[in-house]
């Protein structure tokens, strides 16, 4: 359904702007061309598949965190599919192996248990092991795959050299919204621990968390690190960013439903921090709101809050030049990554619709959700 103006969109609604997406993709293409690395889209962070026709020409494929993401990559992206899971299930191996190019195991035990079966199903499948470089400068423990007792990836003491004959590649993922200097430190630790195995490998996957499209990210340093690594070891290098693809490419548009007062002014919106933008609570971070400032910075300060019964369903305190009115639109910036992939129907709240602003200015309302989506997830 084509709309000509955002005011015709249902509320709440996620709105992707294709021109902003292409800006990110052009930069990622530049990284690919200069470094000769392959770049995959991590579906975990961004899986708006109705935008994949725009992404396909720029990237080499998708990385999937299990069967369902692998199927989505296979059906809607149709380029390379790299599948990793903290643990694979026996009954899913056949399907995953048949639609993937790379399959990455989390432990030598899983590798040995499933490698033969997977290769029998798909002889072209390339098998790898995720390792834990035991170093990460990840800013938050919940996002630190190399933290204390992490289950993600095999540590050096748990490495099992008996898999080396069948293992084409090593994978690490140790970054979270980080710059290329953090990658440099991870690489030093990875090489120090696993360097002796790299000559046996066809590829090394540097994981995600590279904040390549963020303003100020040192792209040239990333390119240099990859070039040097490739020169040193003569292997294929993969990057699999998620957030960097969707970074600052669109908004979540919501509406003020009511304004209540309890020691301060509180605007209740038709969206939810808990259900639609959960990282604002989990990470936590403060989403930018278009036209708004910090609390007290402009004349009229409001707490923006969600329409669920969770007391903590709060986006934050923001100030505006003019008083908010019922029916006003509140536009949260940068809401494309780790939002719709995580959204829930908690409290029976309606999922935001999804729209894409095309390059010609048309706004394509690609998905609306209703009561059935809530009901069908329950029984």
Ligand X SMILES: *Cc1c(COP(=O)(O)O)cnc(C)c1O
Site of interaction with ligand X (CB under 6 A): 42, 44-45, 63, 84, 173, 176, 207-209, 240-244
Angle between helices 219-233 and 180-194 (to 10 degrees): 20
Cα(252)–Cα(240) distance, rounded to whole angstroms?
25
User: Residue 213 burial by CB count (10 A; 0-12/13-18/19+): exposed, middle or buried?
Assistant: buried
Q: How far is the CB of 92 from ligand X (least distance, A)?
A: 17
Tell me the CA distances in angstroms from 117 to 89, 122, 129, 228, 256, one per residue in order.
12, 9, 16, 36, 55
Among residues 12 and 153, whose Cβ is nearest to ligand X?
Answer: 153
Among residues 240 and 313, whose Cβ is nearest to ligand X?
Answer: 240
Cα(344)–Cα(277) distance, rounded to whole angstroms?
10
Among residues 84 and 135, whose Cβ is nearest to ligand X?
Answer: 84
Among residues 37 and 267, whose Cβ is nearest to ligand X?
Answer: 37
Q: How far is the CB of 179 from ligand X (least distance, A)?
A: 13
For every residue of 324-361, DSSP letters joined together read: --TT-EEEESS-SSSSTTT---GGGPPPPEEEEE-TTS
Among residues 211 and 357, whose Cβ is nearest to ligand X?
Answer: 211
Cα(260)–Cα(251) distance, rounded to whole angstroms?
25
Q: How far is the CB of 145 from ligand X (least distance, A)?
A: 7
Among residues 242 and 306, whose Cβ is nearest to ligand X?
Answer: 242
Among residues 84 and 320, whose Cβ is nearest to ligand X?
Answer: 84
User: Residue 114 burial by CB count (10 A; 0-12/13-18/19+): exposed, middle or buried?
Assistant: buried
Q: How far is the CB of 241 from ligand X (least distance, A)?
A: 4
Among residues 128 and 242, whose Cβ is nearest to ligand X?
Answer: 242
Q: How far is the CB of 339 from ligand X (least distance, A)?
A: 12
Q: How far is the CB of 212 from ligand X (least distance, A)?
A: 9
Q: How far is the CB of 127 from ligand X (least distance, A)?
A: 16
Contact 365, 373 (CB under 8 A): no
Cα(243)–Cα(210) distance, rounded to whole angstroms?
8
Q: How far is the CB of 181 from ligand X (least distance, A)?
A: 16
Among residues 237 and 330, whose Cβ is nearest to ligand X?
Answer: 237
Which residue number has the CB closest to ligand X? 208
For every residue of 142-201, DSSP letters joined together read: GG-TTSTT--SSB-GGG--GGGTTT--EEE----SSB-HHHHHHHHHHHHHHHGGGGGG-
Helix (H, G, I), strand (E, B) or coil at 283: coil
Looking at residue 295, the DSSP 8-state letter turns out to be T
For every residue of 37-89, DSSP letters joined together read: -EEEEETTT---GGGHHHHTTTSSEEEESSHHHHHHHHHHT-SEEEEE-SS--
Helix (H, G, I), strand (E, B) or coil at 20: helix
Q: How far is the CB of 84 from ligand X (least distance, A)?
A: 6
Looking at residue 289, the DSSP 8-state letter turns out to be B
Among residues 82 and 357, whose Cβ is nearest to ligand X?
Answer: 82
Q: How far is the CB of 128 from ligand X (least distance, A)?
A: 11
Tell me the CA distances in angstroms from 369 to 11, 44, 351, one per residue in order.
11, 21, 6
């Amino acid at each position: 359904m084509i709309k000509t103006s955002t005011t015709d969109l249902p509320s709440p609604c996620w709105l992707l702007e294709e021109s902003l997406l292409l800006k990110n993709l052009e930069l990622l293409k530049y990284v690919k061309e200069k470094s000769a690395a392959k770049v995959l889209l991590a579906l975990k962070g961004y899986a708006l598949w109705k935008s994949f026709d725009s992404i396909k020409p720029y990237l080499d494929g998708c990385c999937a965190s299990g069967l369902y993401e692998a199927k989505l990559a296979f059906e809607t992206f149709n380029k390379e599919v790299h599948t990793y899971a903290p643990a694979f299930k026996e009954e899913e191996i056949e399907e995953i192996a048949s639609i993937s190019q790379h399959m990455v195991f989390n432990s030598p035990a899983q590798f040995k248990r499933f490698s033969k079966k997977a290769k029998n199903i798909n002889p072209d499948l390339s098998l790898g092991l995720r390792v834990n470089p035991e170093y990460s400068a990840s800013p938050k423990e919940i996002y630190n795959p190399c933290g204390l007792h992490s289950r993600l990836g095999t540590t050096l003491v748990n490495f099992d050299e008996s898999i080396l004959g069948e293992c084409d590649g090593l994978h690490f993922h140790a970054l979270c919204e980080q710059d290329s200097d953090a990658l440099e430190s991870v690489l030093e630790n990875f090489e120090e621990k696993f360097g002796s195995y790299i000559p046996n490998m066809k590829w090394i996957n540097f994981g995600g968390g590279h904040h390549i499209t963020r303003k100020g990210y040192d792209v040239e340093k990333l390119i240099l690190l990859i070039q040097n690594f490739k020169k040193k070891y003569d292997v294929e290098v993969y990057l699999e960013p998620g957030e960097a693809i969707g970074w600052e490419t669109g908004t979540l548009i919501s509406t003020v439903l009511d304004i209540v007062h309890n020691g301060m002014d509180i605007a209740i919106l038709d969206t939810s921090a808990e259900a639609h933008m959960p990282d604002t609570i989990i990470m936590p971070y403060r989403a930018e709101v278009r036209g708004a400032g910090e609390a007290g910075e402009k004349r009229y300060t409001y707490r923006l809050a969600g329409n669920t019964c969770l007391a903590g369903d709060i986006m934050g305190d923001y100030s505006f030049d003019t008083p908010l009115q019922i029916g006003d639109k509140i536009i949260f910036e940068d809401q494309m990554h780790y939002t719709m992939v995580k959204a829930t129907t908690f409290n029976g709240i309606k999922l935001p619709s999804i729209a894409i602003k095309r390059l010609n200015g048309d706004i394509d309302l690609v998905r609306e959700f209703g009561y059935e989506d809530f009901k069908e997830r329950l029984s």
